[in-house]
Chains A and B, each alone.
Chain A
Amino acid sequence: MSDHEYTPKSKVGKWFNDRLPLLTLANHLTDYPTPKNLNYWWTFGGILTFCLITQIVTGLVLAMHYIAHADMAFQSVEHIMRDVNYGWLIRYIHANGASMFFLAVYIHIFRSLFYGSYKSPREVIWIIGIIIYLLMMAAAFLGYVLPWGQMSFWGATVITNLFSAIPLVGEGIVTWLWGGYSVDNPTLTRFFTLHYLIPFLILGLVVLHIWALHVPGNNNPVGIDIKKPSKDTVPFHPYIVIKDGFALLMFMIVFAFFVFYTPNILGHADNYIEANPLVTPAHIVPEWYLLPFYAILRSVPDKLLGVIAMLSAILILAALPWLDTSKIRSAVFRPLYKQFYWILVADVLILGYVGAMPAEGLYLLIARIATAYYFLHFLVVLPVLGFKERTTPVPLSITEPILGGSPNLAAVKKKDSFKDQ
């Protein structure tokens, strides 16, 4: 942990700290040297922690009133919305909180992609992050099933059926997941149990994520290794705490707007119709944050290959530290990578868009091209770019970004992300 030894001032504090060094930990967290040039894209870690805690707290209250039974789930949600004191508020925070959580995590991930935060020595932080992301998707999917509306039921049917693509044992696995021969009460109760469990797994992984972060320290917009502590760093408290707090408040304003003024806009109307196994909705679509992967799944004509493509699209991220061969972390000094980065962003947005559309005609064609490009980016562009790209000169430190009077300095300063917001 910290380089220096910490000794509490009070006798009691010292006595306790010798037995359980909680005060040393607190001291480490407040003093933690942080690069002083972190921009606002770095505040999303704190925002995500807030999202997780919000989901857990509101979720606990909802679980006190919710009934995980196929005949009563929908009704109990209406009970929460009508009769539980501020139940509507808690449920809307929880439901929109999931979307806010994903919005923040996508910014967090794309920040990492832009500034090369996944590269050595931060591979383990990155991989833990990918596992958290996977668990988030699982939690979100399971949670969406609980209100037992039409989209819950049919979404669960579609997603669980994906496992039937596995050769030989597929059908058996699906029956095992369902606890019967269709999505029914046993499915709901086990989904509720898992939905309750996963956030705590995420919480544990978040602790590991932060622990692993505190070993090498934060990456920064310049992407260079810095001495810690030094003129390039500030102590986490109060500098980063207040800045994260400010960004969090901005985020909360957006969050509040959704909760209070358009609480249902991110959901699907069909989920206010109670689940009916005999009526299939016209379009079965997942929540917006899963759409890019849904598009990849549907762009492959073969079911098994589609599932493999969808899973690979996520798992390929775990291999990213080794697929990106460039020694330079930050895209600020990688003119070509920067272009490809924005193409990838556009590609993912396009995938999200076609994921919401029916898989036919032009949409399907676009989905296929976008899917192909997604894999091309990671499997071809990134490895090749590391060898071919001519990067611009990188400064030696944050405070003294001087490289023998490089004319590039002015460019660096003017460029976004170096010193600005």
Chain B
Amino acid sequence: MKNFFRISFLIALFFGFQFNSNAAEKVEYLKTDWSFKGPFGKFDRAALQRGYQVYQEVCSSCHSMKYLSYRNLVEEGGPEFSVEQAKAIAASFEVKDGPNADGEMFMRPGRLSDKFVMPYENEKAAQAANGGAYPPDMTVLVKARGGGVDYIYSLLQGYEDPPAGVTLDDGVYYNKYIYGNKIKMSNQLSDGLVEYSDGTNASVEQMAKDVTTFLMWTAEPHLETRHKMGFKAIIYLIILTVLVYFSMKRIWSRIETKV
């Protein structure tokens, strides 16, 4: 048993080092309480709907969301818009379809089954419109950044005037939280930028939190199912383990050796 603890300790130490090392080179991120953290974490439905609004009105003009479909907005564990709402959202976009019987491509209103419409035709067009920088696709963005949601949340609020001695090129902005402090996206959020339909005060902090919550959902659409199932699975395993433990004691009691 002593060995067991010794090894567990070493393993814990090893992983501890690893996580430390990941965090060491970064600044301290802004913290907020995320409803989806922890084993029982769930998304805040209203925050997801507001977050969608921020994405739609602010981010989506440059950032694509290519792995998401409009039908996802209705699905359980997401923003859970009603089918009518989602249909209306989809229909507000023009989708290129075809070819039709004449061999022509044509535009039609979006349907639930369509993927989110891309802001640009292709990557080159996106770069050309953004001073050479490609606005990354946002679907799995929070999983693609080391600090996850805290990083995105901080970055959105991390714009500052550059400290003395730092010169910025045209179209480059200073941000406290990005690696190297230079970012090609300008500050996007300002108080009251969007008008929330549920009357929530659209402060920068609120919008940053809402849109980050939304991005967490787009990256992990099954997070709620995962948490629920995990709880059941682990309870089940613990009960089974206890039962097997007592069976083992019983079986081994036939011989004198302790187990």
- Chain A residues engaging chain B, CB cutoff 8 angstroms: 36-37, 40-41, 75, 78-79, 81-82, 88-89, 92, 103, 107, 110, 114, 234, 238-239, 242-243, 245-246, 249-250, 252-253, 256-257, 259-261, 263-264, 269-270, 272-273, 282, 288, 342, 345-346, 349, 352-353, 356-357, 416-417, 419-421
Contact = CB atoms under 8 A, between A and B. Distances in A.
Nearest to A242: B248
Interface stretch (B45-53, B100-108, B226-234): B226-234
Q: Is the interface of B mostly helix, strand, loop or mixed?
A: helix
B143 A419 contact: no
Interface size class of B (residues with CB under 8 A): 35 or more
28 contacts: A36-B255, A36-B257, A78-B139, A81-B221, A82-B72, A82-B222, A110-B7, A239-B251, A242-B251, A243-B259, A249-B244, A250-B241, A253-B238, A256-B234, A256-B237, A260-B229, A260-B231, A260-B234, A264-B143, A269-B144, A272-B143, A288-B18, A342-B6, A345-B7, A345-B10, A346-B10, A349-B10, A352-B14
Nearest to B234: A256
Given A78-B140, A253-B237, A353-B17, A259 B3 contact: no
Interface string B99-134: 000000000000000000000000000000000000
A249 B248 contact: no
A259 B259 CA distance: 30
Interface string B169-182: 00000000001000
A272 B146 CA distance: 10
B2 interface: yes
Contact of B221 (A82, A246, A273): A82
Interface string B210-239: 000000000101100011011101100110
A421 B221 CA distance: 42
Given A249-B237, A256-B234, A78 B4 contact: no
A242 B143 CA distance: 40
Given A252-B237, A346-B10, A417 B143 contact: no
B237 A259 contact: no
Contacts of B96: none
Given A89-B226, A249-B237, A260-B226, A416 B1 contact: yes
Nearest to B75: A82
Contacts of B10: 345-346, 349
B251 A89 contact: no
B234 A282 contact: no
B227 A260 contact: yes
Contacts of A36: 255, 257
A349 B13 contact: yes
A260 B230 CA distance: 5
A193 B5 CA distance: 41
Nearest to B222: A88
B67 A75 contact: yes
B31 to A, nearest CB: 18
Interface string B238-259: 1011001101100110010111
B155 to A, nearest CB: 14
B143 A269 contact: yes
Contacts of A243: 248, 252, 259
Given A88-B222, A252-B237, A352-B14, A273 B136 contact: yes
B39 interface: yes
Given A40-B4, A242-B251, A269 B145 contact: yes
Contacts of A270: 144
B127 to A, nearest CB: 12
